[in-house]
Amino acid sequence: MTPDTFIKFGIDVLIIVIKIAVVLVIGLLHVAYATYFERKVIGHMQVRLGPMRVGPHGLLQPFADGIKLFFKEDLIPEKADKVVFYLAPVIFMASAMVNLAFIPFSHNFIIADINIGLLFIFAIAGIGVYGIFISGWASNSKYAFIGGLRSSAQVISYEIAMGFSLVGVMIMAGSLNLTEIVRAQENSIFGMYAIPQIVGFVIFVIAAVAETNRTPFDLPEAESELVAGYFVEYTGFRFALFFLGEYIAMFIMASLCTVCFLGGWTLPWYVLKVLPFLQHVPGIVWFLIKVYAFIFFYYWIRATVPRYRYDQLMSIGWKILIPVALANILVTGLVKILL
Amino acid sequence: MAIVLRKVLSYEKGLEPPEIVERIKEKFPEEVIEVTESKDRISVTVKSGRIIDICRYLHDDPFLLFDHLQDLTAVDYLKKKEPRFEVIYNLYSIRYRNKIRLKAQVPEENPRIRSAVPLWAGANWHERECFDMFGIVFKGHPDLRRILLPEDWEGHPLRKDYPLKGPEPENDWPGYIEVLNKAKELKEFEWEG
Amino acid sequence: MDQVEKIFETRELNVNMGPQHPATHGVLRLVLDLDGETVVNVTPYVGYLHRGIEKLGESLSYFQALPLTDRMDYVSAMSNNIGYVVAVEKLFGIEAPERAKFIRTMVGEMSRISNHLLWLATHALDIGAMTVFLYCFREREWILELFEKICGARLTVTYPRIGGVRNDITQEFLESLWKFTEEFPSRILEYETLIDQNRMWLKRTIGIGVISAEEAVNWGLTGPTLRGSGVPYDVRKFTPYDAYDRVEFDVPVGTEGDTYDRYRCRMIEMRQSNNIVRQCIEKLPPGPIMADAPKFTLHPKDAMFPITHPTKEHAFYIDEKVCKGCGMCLRACPVKAITGEKKKPHKIDQAICLQCANCLAVCKFKALKIVPGGKGLSEDKLKELAQAPLPEEITKAKEHLVEHFTFIKRGPRAPEGDLYVATEVPKGELGFYFVSDGSGKPYRMRVRAPSFIHAGVLPRLCVGHLVADVIANIGTIDIVLGECDR
């Protein structure tokens, strides 16, 4: 190994480390302000103001919350399985964080541009279920137990529907690499796959809500039934880890939706044709706008609809979403072959 | 799914209350002790022996149809009347809009009466409360336990000889003492700022 | 399969829901036996909020027991007050004047609206619709502010009095209430936009907690919970009290007897109540607000004003020679201004004293003296002034005060007999059963609380459904545990 290659290797590592740092900071700041954003959005939808006290318009509220959670007493149930109890939030949080590495934020900003990015995200998200399930098991509480069971059943069922809904995208793009998928969309007729893959898009949105345990599919943590579901026994910073994990998972789902259906950091060509000056705006801006629009949609749903019952949730997943997604794959494949 | 708006003006006129009393007297001549007229309705004082038969008659007879048990409770007439307890049934007929009150006499030594749960399912909790507060035992009740007071409570508070003031702290209900001791124990963890 | 079951023994999961649980509307405790998500058995436990209101009622005079009724169903305290007052009036054989009756009908219906709003808010929140909760509280707040305008209290109002109401209502209040009634129907539409035809709401409520008409009557259900099953039993129509026979309203009746029908019934009932309030405002007659029955009703307090009015500069002083040290005044003092040991003359700390005259009323030995214009004077000066004869105005007021005190404490002598009077509170039929032995206190006071009976029907509604439906069922029967446990 010559010194030249060594330096080159060192620079590469440095760049990756810087990227990781940037993504982590963005990720955590996102979570902090996603909670603020949520409370403000839902507050205004519910004719109230949301946080207003800490800082101007409550802008420092997330930090106050963080400090509070950090200094809270850490309670562990006497009969909990201690090791697993400690491990669960870490698994949950870590699996959510790892996914940030595969999201292409812009055409040259991605930590790990691997060929099977889409598949990898699914694999890692699957590990997150373990965090939920073992937290429910280790707490040695019946509420947490039911919450954990519900969650694992729900996440597994909806993961199938979500995976199937993305198969159409894979067929159209001909790749599992997320950057490739975005590039394929840029060159397609519609500029984004949300239009030709509208069925897949709708299924994905529904499944994404269920996958992240948000209303109307927030059964694992349904506060009126199970109090808080699988993390009912967690306090202080362990609770915060679950909380962070959930918001990062939301961010991942929103990013995945943006990348696979909304064209990632690109704008459709017809928009650029009408408004050519928009191409000077950096891609990451479009990416974040799309992601936050999707997250806003999450909040909007939460403020609007009631919660499904467990059996209804399951029947929607298995009886409607999966068959429709399968039909979608079939149609997409046929169209691809015929054209 | 469909909601109907009802004016609820006309209704079938049933028997006049005195007539109902006559019928009860006719059917159960041995049982009726006294008939009094209160401000709201006629009360019939009966023996407790065949109370379930009287209730069944009032509940099932097509001309009476007392289907709504408004209230079931007891009154303690300590040193005022013999026998000591009266179990009160306030009945209402939704169809005929008739009211009647049954008072079944229950003696102090053996406070037992047949349960009305087979006729009115709603009597279940009323009877449990009656048992809780007066110590009257309802025979044939599916689940006769204390309801408002803790399971290990002693005494029946609505009896007139139950003291109005609580006992001295050391003789109080064990559950309460337990809580007090626990509070004392936890005092040392209190934050002193 | 049998082989498998032999090896892996299965049993129901026993879940303790409550008394601290976000969806049990207070301190209801349900022990659920679950087979997976299906409820096999439900055992409700109540009594965590038992305060012995029936026993207390027996040891308080009819006047004194009125505030207890606020504490039963604290969500619609006004209706509970009215229920008590109507029953006691019937026992005494007195009748409230027309104006008072219309005012009571009006505030009773306001209370019904506020109760149904809270019910809808919590029921929707239990099912997961969060925004309805806050929308409902916006209007409930409005009503509570209107209550505050009438009587100064928002929650535990104690506004109706035996024989009438506490104070007359103002034109200003009527105008703001009218504005509310004009605005309110459009607000109901807002809630309905969110949930009425929402597929998820329908899926969660239709066919849940079905109870047939016969069975509902058999279980003793009343109010909208019964009417959802199709029985038009409404005490306001069947045995009208107050001014309900002079206002027009319809009784909404469901057909299926499920959670959705009960929800619809209550929504329509809110509109009907709104109409009743409007009619009451239109028809409100002039006249007195208190029945003319001095033996049974509280006397006007104007005569006591020379003593009790806060602007009067009195001082109170205990005559050491007369005071026996019984400690009555010590206990009556709300600010603990009176100190002293038993059997020794007590002393008033003038710096703390509020001049409320409570001690004056309880003193049996006439040791308490009023010193007009004595505020801020020294102890010796007061002692000197206390011997001087009092002005006539104050002597009269003092007599009146003591009389008033003893009247409330002893209570009005009720005629002997017993009676059961039911009124339609928002939750159902609230009945008071009184046995009077001719004294100022009821010999037996029994409260038939609708929440108590409705909580009893929970096992019947829940068994066979899922856990989530238990929550929907707790919401649909509309219980408040303060009333249930009494």
Contact call for C252 and B5, based on CB within 8 A: yes
Q: Which residues on chain A place their C-beta less than 8 Å from a C-beta of chain C?
A: 42, 45-48, 142-143, 145-146, 215-216, 218-219, 222-225, 227, 302-312
Q: Rg for chain A (alpha carbons), in Å?
A: 21
| Residue-level pLDDT, tens digit, chain A, 339 residues | 677 888 888 888 888 888 888 878 877 887 888 888 888 888 888 888 888 888 788 888 888 888 888 888 878 888 878 888 888 888 888 888 888 888 888 777 777 778 888 888 888 888 888 888 888 888 888 888 888 888 888 888 888 888 888 888 888 888 888 888 888 887 777 777 777 888 888 988 888 888 887 778 877 666 667 777 777 788 888 888 888 888 888 888 888 888 888 887 888 777 777 877 777 778 788 888 888 888 888 888 888 888 888 888 888 888 888 899 899 888 888 888 887
Q: Which CATH class is domain B11-166?
A: alpha beta
pLDDT score recorded for residue A93: 86
Q: Residue A257 burial by CB count (10 A; 0-12/13-18/19+): exposed, middle or buried?
A: buried
If you count residue pairs, one on A and one on C, with CB atoms under 8 Å apart, how many are there?
Answer: 86
Contact C236, C223 (CB under 8 A): no
CB contact under 8 A, A309 and C195: no
**For testing contact with chain B, the best of C41, C420, C441 (most B CBs within 10 A):** C420
Contact partners, residue A57, CB within 8 Å, separation at least 6: A51
Helices within chain B (DSSP H only): 17-27, 51-60, 123-134, 174-186
Which residues in chain A are contacts of C467 at CB distance < 8 A?
A: 146, 225, 310
| Euclidean distance between CA atoms B102 and B88, whole angstroms | 6
pLDDT in tens, A241-263: 888 888 888 888 888 888 888 88
Determine, for residues A302 and C468 on separate chains, whether the beta-carbon distance falls below 8 Å: no
| C420 close contact with B: CB closer than 8 A | yes
Q: Is residue A196 reached through a cis peptide bond, with omega within 30 degrees of 0 on the bond before it?
A: no
- Please give, one letter per residue, the 3-state secondary structure of chain C: CHHHHHHCCCCCEEEEECCCCCCCCCCCEEEEEEECCEEEEEEEECCCCCCCHHHHHHHCCCCCCHHHHHCCCHHHHHHHHHHHHHHHHHHHCCCCCHHHHHHHHHHHHHHHHHHHHHHHHHHHHHHCCHHHHHHHHHHHHHHHHHHHHHHCCCCCCCCEECCEECCCCCHHHHHHHHHHHHHHHHHHHHHHHHHCCCHHHHHHHCCCCCCCHHHHHHCCCCCHHHHCCCCCCCHHHHCCCCCCCCCCCCEEECCCCCHHHHHHHHHHHHHHHHHHHHHHHHHCCCCCCECCCCCCCCCCCHHHHHHHCCCCCEEEEECCCCCCCCCHHHHHCCCCCEECCCCCCCEECCCCCCCCCHHHHHCCCCCEEEEECCCCCCHHHHHHHHCCCCCHHHHHHHHHHHHHHHHHHHCCCCCCEEEEEEEEECCEEEEEEEEECCCCCCCEEEEECHHHHHHHCHHHHHCCCEHHHHHHHHHHCCCCHHHHHC
Tokens of C470: 């238990």
Closest chain A CA to residue C25: A224
B contacts of C261 (beta carbons < 8 Å):
1, 3
Check CB contact under 8 Å for A304 and C131: yes
Q: What is the pTM of this model?
A: 0.85
**What are the tens digits of pLDDT across the range B138-173?**
888 888 888 888 888 878 888 888 887 777 777 777
In whole angstroms, give the CA distance from residue A155 to residue A230.
13
Residues from chain A contacting residue C13 (CB–CB below 8 Å): 142, 145-146
d(CA B4, CA B6): 6
Name the residue of chain B whose CA is nearest to C47's CA. Answer: B148
* pLDDT tens figures, C185-203: 998 888 888 888 888 888 8
Q: Is B1 a residue whose pLDDT tops 60?
A: no
CA distance A125 to chain C (A): 26
The enclosing H or E element of B88 equals strand B85-93
Output the pLDDT for position C374. 67
Give residue C341's Cα distance to chain centre: 39
A-chain CB neighbours of C37 within 8 Å are 146, 310-311
pLDDT tens, residue by residue, B2-57: 677 776 667 777 778 888 888 888 888 887 888 888 888 888 888 888 888 888 88
The pLDDT profile of chain C, 486 residues, written as one tens digit per residue, is 566 666 777 777 888 887 877 777 778 888 888 887 888 888 888 888 888 888 888 888 888 888 888 888 888 888 999 999 999 988 888 888 888 999 999 999 999 999 999 999 888 888 888 888 888 888 999 999 999 888 888 888 888 888 888 888 888 889 999 999 998 999 888 888 888 888 888 888 888 888 888 888 888 888 888 888 888 888 888 888 888 888 888 888 888 888 888 888 898 899 989 999 999 898 888 888 888 877 788 777 777 776 666 565 777 777 777 777 777 777 777 777 777 777 777 777 777 777 777 777 777 777 777 777 667 677 777 777 767 777 777 777 777 777 787 788 788 888 888 889 999 889 888 989 998 888 888 888 889 889 888 888 888 888 888 888 888 888 888 888 888 888
In chain B, domain spans: 11-166
Contact check, Cβ <8 Å, B1/C422? no
On the question of pLDDT at B136 being above 60, the answer is yes
Q: What is the pLDDT of residues B89-119, one digit of tens each?
A: 988 888 888 888 888 888 888 888 888 888 8
- Taking the CA of residue A306 and the nearest CA in chain C, the distance in Å comes to 4
Which one of C54, C206, C220 has the shortest CB-CB distance to B68? Answer: C220
pLDDT of residue A213: 77
Is residue B55 less than 8 Å (CB to CB) from chain C? no
Nearest CA in chain B to C228: B3
pLDDT in tens, A98-121: 888 888 887 777 777 788 888 888
Who among B6, B88, B158 is closest to C251 (CB)?
Answer: B6
Contact list, A146 vs chain C (CB under 8 Å): 13, 15, 34, 37, 467
- Cα(C469)–Cα(C462) distance, integer angstroms: 7
Q: C331: which strand partners?
A: none
Average pLDDT, chain B: 83
Question: Does residue B99 contact residue B17 with C-beta atoms inside 8 Å?
Answer: yes
pLDDT of C326: 78
Q: Do B4 and C253 touch (CB under 8 A)?
A: yes
Residues in C closer than 8 angstroms to B122, CB to CB, are: 218-221, 453, 456-457
pLDDT reported for residue B2: 66
What confidence score (pLDDT) does residue C312 get? Answer: 59
The rounded distance, in Å, linking the Cα atoms of C349 and A49 is 48
Alpha-carbon distance of B51 to B140, in angstroms, equals 13
Give me the DSSP letters along A308-325. Answer: PPHHHHHHIIIIIIHHHH
How far is the C-alpha of B98 from the C-alpha of C238, rounded, in Å? Answer: 10
- Give pLDDT, residue A1: 60
Cα of C59 to nearest chain A Cα, Å: 40
In this complex, the residue of B2, B120, B150 whose CB is nearest that of residue C255 is B2
- A145, A225, A302 member nearest C467 (Cβ): A225
